[in-house]
Structure 1
Amino acid sequence: MLLKDRVAIVTGAASPRGIGLATARALAAQGARIAILDLNEEAVQRAAGELGKGHRGYRCDVSSHEQCRKVVAAIQSDLGPVDSLLAFAGISRSTRFLEVTPEEYEAVMQANLRGTMNICQAVVPGMIEKGGGSIVCVGSIAAQRGGGVFGGTHYSASKGGVQSLAKAMARELAPRNIRVNAVAPGLIETDIFEGKLTETRKAEIAATIPMGRVGQPRDVADVCVFLVSDWASYVTGVVLDINGGLHIH
C-alpha cells in the first residue's frame, strides 16, 4: 500500500477505457483516496462509484481557472489535503497543419496546456501549506517526435508546452518539497482513438514498435503510481517515456 490514506486528484479520468481511470484504479489499489475530475457529471460519478467507497467524482472544466480553484477547495473539504495531482485532462486533434483553424488551435491549447496550468495553480498552494506533494503532467511522444500517429501540429505543440511547464514547475517548486514530473506516452489504446484504430492499423503500428505491441492504459498507470510514491522521492523534472521503444533517443 504505497499510497495509504493519501489524497490524489486525477483529471480527465471518467472515460471507461482511458488512461486517467486506469491510473485512478491503480492509485486506489495502493490505498489512495481518489477525486476524479471530468466534464460529464454522470460519468464522473459512475467512475468514482466504480472505485468504491471513499472516492469522489467532481465535474470540472480544467480550461476554467475559476472552476479549478473551486473544485480543489471542495476536494480539500471533502477528502482532506491533496497529496498528488495527475493531470490527464486534454483533447487530441489530428487536423493537418494548414487546415488548423484559430478556433481549433485555441481549443487544443486551452484544454491541454492552459488546463494543466490551471489545475496545478489550484492545487499547489495547498501542497505548500501541507509541506509537499507530487504532480504528474501528461505530455506525449508527439511532442518529442514532432507529431505522432494521430496527433496534429497543434496537439504536438500543446504537449511540448506541458512537458516544458512540468520541468519549470519542478525547478521552482522543489524547494517547497513538491515534485513535478511528466510522462510521454506513445500510442496507447484508449477510447480517444475509437473508430480510428482498426485491427489492421493497430497491427501495422505494432510492427514498428520494438516491443511488438500497442500500449495499454495500465502501462501508463503503473508508471504514474511510481512517480507519485515515495519510491520516486528523489525524482523531479523528468519526462518519462512510455512507448515500448518506439522513440529511443
Structure 2
Amino acid sequence: MGAKPVMLVTGAGRGIGAAVAKLAAARGYDLVLTWRHGQAAAEATAAACREAGATVELIQADAGDPAANARCFAALDSRFGRLDALVANAGITGPASDFLDSTDATWAEVFRVNVLGLAATCREASRRMATGHGGRGGGIVALSSRAAEIGSAFEFIHYAATKGAVDSMVAGLSKELAGQGIRVNAVAPGMIDTDIHASAGIPERIGRIVPNIPLRRMGTPEEVAEVVLFLLSPASAYVTGAILPVGGGR
C-alpha cells in the first residue's frame, strides 16, 4: 500500500468525471474510478491516468445500486486500504420534459442515482476518512448544478430537484463531519461542453442557452476539474459547506 493519497471519482468514464480523474492523477493521486456506461471511454480515462503515474482501480458500478456501491468500496479497501478524497460526480438527468409530462418512473430513477446513491457513497467514504473511525480525515466534493437554483423549468425540474437535495446534503454533512476532519463542498456547473445534452435528447439546448450566459460560451470539463481539485487542496483548508458556481455568470 503506497503513501500517495487516494481519490474515489464516481462516474469517471467521461465528461467532468474523466477530467477530474486525469487532473487528480497529474496532481499525485492514486484513483478508484467508477463508470456505468461506455466501457471504452472509461478504459481510456483509466489509461490516461496510469500514464500520468497513478495506480488505478476501474470498477463498473451504478451509483444508485447498493450492491455495486459495496463492491466498489470492497475493491478500494483491498487495493489501497485508505481513502483521502471523494468526488461524487455520478449522476443522470433523466429525459427532458415539461413537469406535467414527467413520470413517477423518471422522478424515482433520477432520485435513486443522484440523491440516494450520493448519500450511500458519502456515508461509506466518510466512514473510511473520519478521524473518529481511524481515518486520516479528507475531503468530499459533490457535483451539484446551477439547475438547483435556476430550476430548469420546462426541461429538467426533476433533475434540478435532485441537485437541490445535493446542496442540502452538503450543508448538513459539512457541519456534521467537520469534527471528523472531513471537509464537504460542492461544485455547481452550468453549461459545460459534454455529451449530457445530446444524451438527454435535446442537443439544440446549447444554442438556446449560450447567448444568455454572461461569458458567452460553454465551460469545459477541465475548468470544472480545476475547481474540484482546488476544493480538495490545502489552498482551501478553511472552506467547507461551500457550493461554488462554475457557470460563466449564469
Q: TM-score, normalising length from structure 1?
A: 0.89
Equivalences for 1:41-190 in 2 at 5 Å? 42-43=39-40, 44-52=42-50, 54-93=55-94, 94-128=96-130, 129-147=134-152, 151-190=155-194
How much has 1:34 moved relative to structure 2? 1.3
Deviation per CA, 1:74-107: give whole Å up to 9, x if none.
1122123010000110101322101111111100
Query: What residue is the counterpart of 2:216 in the other structure?
Result: 212
Deviation per CA, 1:124-157: give whole Å up to 9, x if none.
1110122301000111111011227x85111110
Deviation per CA, 1:217-248: give whole Å up to 9, x if none.
111100000001111111100111101111xx
Task: Please state if 1:239 is matched with 2:243.
Answer: yes
Tell me how far apart the structure 1 counterparts of residues 152 and 49 of structure 2 sit (CA, whole Å).
Answer: 34
Give identity over the alignment, percent.
Answer: 37
Tell me how far apart the structure 1 counterparts of residues 249 and 231 of structure 2 sit (CA, whole Å).
Answer: 20
1:12 partner amino acid: G
2:232 partner amino acid: V
Query: What residue is the counterpart of 1:12 in the other structure?
Result: 11
Q: TM-score, normalising length from structure 2?
A: 0.89
How much has 1:204 moved relative to structure 2? 4.6
Gaps of 5+ in 1: none
- Of 171, 196, 207, the residue aligned with 2:202 is 196
Query: What residue is the counterpart of 1:24 in the other structure?
Result: 21
Deviation per CA, 1:30-62: give whole Å up to 9, x if none.
011111111148343342123215112011111
How much has 1:206 moved relative to structure 2? 2.6
Contact 2:146/2:245, CA 8 A, preserved across alignment: yes
What is the alpha-carbon root mean square deviation over aligned residues?
1.8
Alignment length, in residue pairs?
238
What SS does the aligned partner of 2:19 have?
A: helix
Greater displacement, 152-161 / 58-67 = 58-67
Runs of 4+ with >2 A deviation = 40-47, 194-198, 201-207
What SS does the aligned partner of 1:35 have?
A: strand
